[in-house]
């Protein structure tokens, strides 16, 4: 899987070369957070409806959702098992994004691609997912280093 993963990560740019595995991981991560966001979102929308009747309710709900989403992600990270499952699911989804982009790249090369934008959209999604994954990885490493620097 490691070689494949690396290849998948690279594939993000179109060829998806290095970033594949990392991107897959990151994608999974992002997905998990996104799922948490969804649950929080419904709550946020409900809260928004109850408290604000104004037309600005949608924006308010969105802001609420964003705020609550962040809280939800932190809560999920607090429990080890849930976070691991979240991460695994997210990685799997990133892998899916990468492989679909790779398949479309092959189609483009062989002339079987019917819609040009399909490949461009797939590669953009894979790229974004990879960026998200690396961002999360960087943040996690940052947090770990911060804790390791702690004076005992």
Contact residues for 14 (Cβ-Cβ < 8 A; gap 6+):
101, 105, 123
Q: Return d(Cα 68, Cα 58) in angstroms, integer.
A: 15
Residue 35 contacts another protein per CB under 8 A: yes
In angstroms, what is the minimal distance from the CB of 46 to another protein? 20
Residue 132 contacts another protein per CB under 8 A: yes
In angstroms, what is the minimal distance from the CB of 143 to another protein? 13
Looking up tokens 């849930």 gives 82
Q: Return d(Cα 134, Cα 113) in angstroms, integer.
A: 30
Residue 92 contacts another protein per CB under 8 A: no
The region of 41-49, 51-59, 80-88, 113-121 touching another protein under the rule CB under 8 A is 113-121
The region of 39-47, 48-56, 76-84, 121-129 touching another protein under the rule CB under 8 A is 121-129
Residue 82 contacts another protein per CB under 8 A: no
The DSSP line for 57-120 is: HHHHHHHHHHHHHHHHHHHHHHSHHHHHHHHHHHHHHHHHHHHHHHHHHHHHHHT--S-HHHHH
Among 38, 42, 51, 103, binds another protein (CB under 8 A): 38
Residue 117 contacts another protein per CB under 8 A: yes
Q: Which residues bind another protein (CB under 8 A)?
A: 27, 30-31, 34-35, 38, 115, 117-118, 120-121, 124-125, 128-129, 131-132, 135
């Amino acid at each position: 899987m490691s070689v494949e993963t690396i290849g998948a990560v690279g594939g993000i740019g179109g060829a998806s070369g290095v970033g594949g595995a990392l991107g897959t991981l990151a994608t999974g991560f992002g997905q998990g957070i996104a799922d948490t966001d969804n649950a929080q979102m419904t709550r946020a929308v409900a809260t928004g409806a109850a408290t604000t009747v104004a037309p600005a309710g949608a924006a308010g709900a969105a802001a609420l959702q964003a705020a609550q989403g962040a809280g939800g992600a932190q809560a999920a990270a607090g429990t080890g098992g849930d976070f691991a499952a979240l991460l695994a699911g997210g990685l799997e989804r990133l892998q899916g994004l990468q492989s679909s982009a790779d398949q479309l790249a092959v189609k483009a090369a062989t002339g079987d691609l019917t819609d040009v934008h399909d490949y461009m959209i797939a590669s953009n999604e894979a790229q974004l997912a990879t960026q998200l994954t690396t961002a999360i990885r960087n943040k996690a490493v940052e947090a770990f280093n911060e804790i390791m620097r702690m004076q005992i």
